[in-house]
Homo-oligomer: A and B are copies of this chain.
């Protein structure tokens, strides 16, 4: 069977099964998640055994240790996965919410109501926990899931999907709402991305290369997640006691993730005080520095190693302990720099001046602006969403951390008593 035929068949099964979700109550969807959580816990041994096969292959193929760690499941991690499903079940039902409502002069009653998308494809990389995390978020938001994980996690993903499907057999919800897309052949990804009309939405999660490929090749609507060249701007009127911890936290707390900062911009008026301590603190934390000419002079004066930042540096999402440092003349100049090099993800300003913060917000064009706090807070769990399917880095539909609500669309229900247009 061709990859297109495989996807068409899975999508068709998923579409039909999705009706058991769109007609299920919130309580029924919640209890299905609890059944899934229990099954994952009780079949932990099977899951670990399957994962061990993937790990053996990974070791044989000398997979990078960091990637091996992502692939690895442990009893503890499996408990965490089950706990995640329970956490989603505890959230407010995102379906059937009336978003807008009005009665027109002709008596027609309008309601805009949240409804599921239908069939959503996920394309992701090594981590097998995404298989369950994504499935439960999609199920709770009424969507059938087409899961295309990595072939390196094949055995782990297969058992996890089987466990979830078996669990659903005891509920009113069809097990066919969760479909694992075969990962042996790369062609299934391409087929998923072009299954227009059969799949309603595709969300990629993984490396920048994966996301770019999905966005470029997809004719199905996508939500781009990922890339973050985030900035921390220390304003003229910053409180230095706040500025330094925010900077260090933004850069070093978890440098590999998209909401970590890559560039520090400092207002020239505060630079003489702030830059020496900032450069020293970053350097002490093991951060490799790339500076503009002004910051370079400060670094030299204090014997801190730093190379001159190139255009490539300013544009790079390092993902490691490496940072660019520049000095700017004003809030507007900081915004100009960010407009040129940023990726519209998260930008932070540290200032005690409300007008400066307002100007920075108005000139920023990003998913989240942080005022006197760390860029690391652009995160569904930190922001109280309870669950996150990813962080949208596009403007269409959902922007920023996406929880259950972002996995719904709307429909208009127009109720009349025979009105016609004249």
Query: 24 A-B Cβ contacts within 8 A?
Result: A22-B363, A23-B362, A23-B363, A110-B384, A200-B395, A221-B221, A242-B418, A253-B421, A367-B411, A367-B412, A369-B414, A370-B414, A371-B413, A372-B417, A372-B418, A373-B415, A373-B419, A377-B419, A377-B421, A378-B414, A383-B412, A395-B409, A396-B409, A399-B410
**Extra A-B contacts (5), CB below 8 Å, given A22-B365, A400-B410:** A215-B219, A371-B415, A373-B414, A396-B397, A399-B410
Contacts of A384 in B (CB 8 A): 102, 104, 110
Instruction: Give CA–CA (A414, B246) in the complex, Å.
Output: 13
Chain B residues near A253 (CB, 8 Å)?
Answer: 420-421
Nearest CB on B from A407, distance (A): 11
- Determine if A226 is an interface residue (Cβ-Cβ < 8 Å): no
| Contact between chains at B364 and A417 (CB < 8 Å) | no
Scoring A115, A396, A400 by chain B CB atoms within 10 A of each residue's CB, the highest score goes to A396
Given known pairs A201-B395, A367-B411, A411-B366, the reply for A419 and B374 (CB within 8 Å) is yes
Pairwise interchain contact A412-B400, C-beta atoms closer than 8 A:
yes
Assess whether A283 is interfacial by the CB under 8 Å rule: no
With A219-B216, A411-B399 in contact, is A374–B420 under 8 Å at CB?
yes
| Copies per complex of this chain | 2
Q: A296-341: which have CB < 8 Å to B?
A: 339
| Structural contact, A383 and B104, CB atoms closer than 8 A | yes
In the complex, A108 has a CB within 8 A of chain B: yes
> For the complex, is A245 an interface residue (Cβ under 8 Å from B)?
yes
Question: Within A102-144, which residues are at the interface with B (CB < 8 Å)?
Answer: 102, 104, 108, 110, 112, 115, 117-118
Closest to A410 in B: B399
Contact B118–A421 (Cβ < 8 Å): no
A376 within 8 A of B: yes
A contact face: mostly helix, strand, loop, or mixed? mixed
Tell me if A416 is interfacial: C-beta within 8 Å of chain B: yes
Q: Is A280 an interface residue (CB 8 A)?
A: no
B108 A373 Cβ-Cβ under 8 A = yes
- Shortest Cβ distance from residue A249 to the other chain B in the assembled complex, whole angstroms: 4
CA separation between A241 and B110, bound complex, in Å?
22
* A266 in the interface (beta carbon within 8 A): no
> How long is the Cα–Cα vector from A201 to B419 in the complex, in angstroms?
36
Closest approach, in angstroms, between the C-beta of A380 and any C-beta of chain B?
11
Interface: A394 (CB within 8 A)? yes
Nearest B-chain residue to A16, judged by Cβ? B339
Q: Does A368 contact B (CB under 8 A)?
A: yes
Asked whether A382 is an interface residue with its Cβ less than 8 Å from the other chain, the reply is: yes
Residues in B with CB closer than 8 Å to A39 are: none
A239 within 8 A of B: yes
Bound form: Cα–Cα A388–B113 in Å: 20
Which one of B118, B221, B415, B418 contacts A245 once the chains associate, using CB atoms below 8 Å? B418
CA distance A416 to B288 in the complex (A): 28
CB within 8 Å of B: which A158-213 residues: 196, 200-201
A110 to B369 CA separation, bound complex (whole angstroms)? 10
CB distance from A317 to the nearest CB of B (A): 15
Q: Is A79 an interface residue, CB under 8 A from the partner? A: no
> Whole-angstrom distance between the alpha carbons of A246 and B228 in the complex?
52
B420 touches A372 (CB 8 A): no
Query: Which residues of chain B are near A13, meaning CB under 8 Å?
Result: none
Please name all residues of chain B whose beta carbon is closer than 8 Å to the beta carbon of A102 when the two chains form the complex. Answer: 384
Are B400 and A361 neighbours in the complex by a CB distance under 8 Å? no
Contacts of A378 in B (CB 8 A): 412, 414
